Amino acid sequence: MFPQAQPFSNSTRVWVSTYVRQMGNILCCVQVDQSTVAIKERFGRFNDVLEPGCHCVPWFIGEQISGKLTLRVQQLDVRCETKTKDNVFVNVVASIQFRALVEKASDAYYKLSNTRSQIQAYVFDVIRATVPRLNLDDVFEQKSEIARAVADELEKAMSAYGFEIVETLIVDIEPDEHVKRAMNEINAAARLRLAANEKAEAEKIIQIKRAEGEAESKYLAGLGIARQRQAIVDGLRDSVLGFSVNVPGTTAKDVMDMVLVTQYFDTMKEIGASSKSSAVFIPHGPGAVRDIATQIRDGLLQGSSANWLVMTLLQDNVFVNVVASIQYCALAEKASDAFYKLSNTLSDPGLSSAPQLNLDDVFKQKSESAEAVSLELEKAGHFM
């Protein structure tokens, strides 16, 4: 088996390339690499542009290769410090991509001694003429316009020297460190303010929804309490009527006493079943029940007074508030009926004659209105 060939080292390759080039010069042969052109002179004067490949350059008749020019795209990063309209110093970094034109290779080789310095000078000139007319925020927003202005100026200037501007980019804008910190703080403060507004709005919605829920809950609780009380009143009325009809000789007073005894024992049961540690001392025994019934009955029979406010419309289209002070006492023989119909009777104070009067007549006929109220209450038959 043949031994495996070992690759040449870098130093060996350089030596071989140099040796071949020198031998080519001796034999009047020149190699031009891809994407490269060679400038041929004869006795120091430009003669021709040699494209990639092998060319014969007889040195003995005065021809030689003056130099080579690459046709590849090159990139130059230019950092320029300038001041904005609002007096903020910034560093603008521009990236210029350019290449030499093969049809103008002689101009690119002979007319410029330092291409990069020339391009850098034009970039400085355009940036320092454009950025001072803009505020700092506008510089960030108009990067494309600045890059376009630099590209237009370079294209006009460098095309005469055989170069093409491929692309111009503003890759970075660096304000002073203190300015950047201040801008970040402004942005952070704005976002915090927005977050605070959103949080406050959310809390507002929560409070509104909670208030609406509480209002609805209280409304429903009120309906429940009203229905509960109405059911109790209806049950008591039915009990009184049922006992009076089915049990001969019983009176409404007897039924009310029995209902009070039943409610008394229900209350005692609820107190005894409570798991709380609080102590309640109440009198217990049949005498206590009699005392409770007596107190309730005496309260109904005792004279009472009530002030009622009624708004009505007079004949001359004037709304007035009429305050009636009524002193009443329930009749003993109709105590149970008075207990349930008290509010219904007093809710109609008998001012039906008021809409037929003018405002002056109302003041003059107060006594007549009071008598009308008394007659209306006596018609109910439960009070005197």
Tokens 């029979």 sit at which residue? 301
pTM listed for this prediction: 0.45
The tokens describing 262, both together, are 């039943």
Which of residues 70, 86, 101 is at a domain's end?
Answer: 70
**Residues 89, 150 within the same domain:** yes
Q: Is residue 166 part of a domain?
A: yes
Q: Please state, in angstroms and as integers, the Cα–Cα distance from residue 55 to each residue in 49, 72, 136, 216, following that order.
A: 11, 21, 56, 100
What is the distance, to the nearest Å, from the Cα of residue 79 to the centroid of all Cα atoms in its chain?
A: 42
Q: Is residue 65 part of a domain?
A: yes
The tokens describing 318, both together, are 């004037």
Q: Assess contact for 147 and 94: CB atoms under 8 A.
A: yes
Number of domains in the chain: 3
The tokens describing 78, both together, are 């230019």
**Residues 143, 170 within the same domain:** yes
Q: What is the Cα–Cα distance from 151 to 120, expressed in whole angstroms?
A: 12
**Residues 40, 119 within the same domain:** no
Q: Is residue 158 part of a domain?
A: yes
The residue among 272, 351, 344 whose CA lies nearest residue 309 is 351
Q: Is residue 121 part of a domain?
A: yes
Q: Assess contact for 36 and 65: CB atoms under 8 A.
A: no
**Residues 52, 102 within the same domain:** no
Q: So what's the pLDDT on residue 75?
A: 93
Q: So what's the pLDDT on residue 151?
A: 92
* Alpha helices by DSSP H, the chain: 10-26, 105-110, 115-130, 136-141, 143-158, 177-246, 252-273, 286-301, 335-346, 359-364, 366-380
Q: What is the Cα–Cα distance from 277 to 212, expressed in whole angstroms?
A: 36
**Residues 89, 148 within the same domain:** yes
Q: Is residue 318 part of a domain?
A: yes
Q: Is residue 310 part of a domain?
A: yes
**Residues 85, 170 within the same domain:** yes
**Residues 83, 171 within the same domain:** yes
Tokens 């008998």 sit at which residue? 350
- Tell me the residue range of the domain where 40 lies: 11-70
**Residues 58, 150 within the same domain:** no
Strand-pairing partners, residue 170, are 94
Q: Is residue 198 part of a domain?
A: no
Q: So what's the pLDDT on residue 340?
A: 44
Around Cβ 141, how many Cβ atoms within 10 Å?
A: 11
**Residues 116, 51 within the same domain:** no
Which pLDDT tens digits describe the chain residue by residue (384 residues)?
Answer: 445 545 556 677 656 556 555 555 566 788 888 888 998 888 888 888 888 888 888 877 888 888 888 999 999 999 999 999 988 889 999 999 999 998 988 888 888 888 899 999 999 999 999 999 999 889 989 999 999 999 999 998 898 898 999 999 999 888 888 888 888 888 888 888 999 999 999 999 999 999 998 888 888 888 888 888 788 777 777 777 776 677 676 666 666 666 777 777 777 777 777 656 566 666 656 566 566 666 655 654 554 555 555 556 666 666 666 666 666 555 444 544 544 444 444 444 444 455 566 667 767 777 776 777 677 666 655 555
Q: What is the Cα–Cα distance from 354 to 369, expressed in whole angstroms?
A: 8
Can you tell me whether residue 198 is helix, strand or coil? Answer: helix
Q: Is residue 272 part of a domain?
A: no
Q: What is the Cα–Cα distance from 118 to 157, expressed in whole angstroms?
A: 10
Which of residues 175, 208, 240 is at a domain's end?
Answer: 175
SS (H, E, C) 52-72: CEEEECCHHHCEEEEEEEECC
**Residues 17, 66 within the same domain:** yes
Around Cβ 132, how many Cβ atoms within 10 Å?
A: 13
Which of residues 70, 86, 117 is at a domain's end?
Answer: 70
**Residues 66, 78 within the same domain:** no
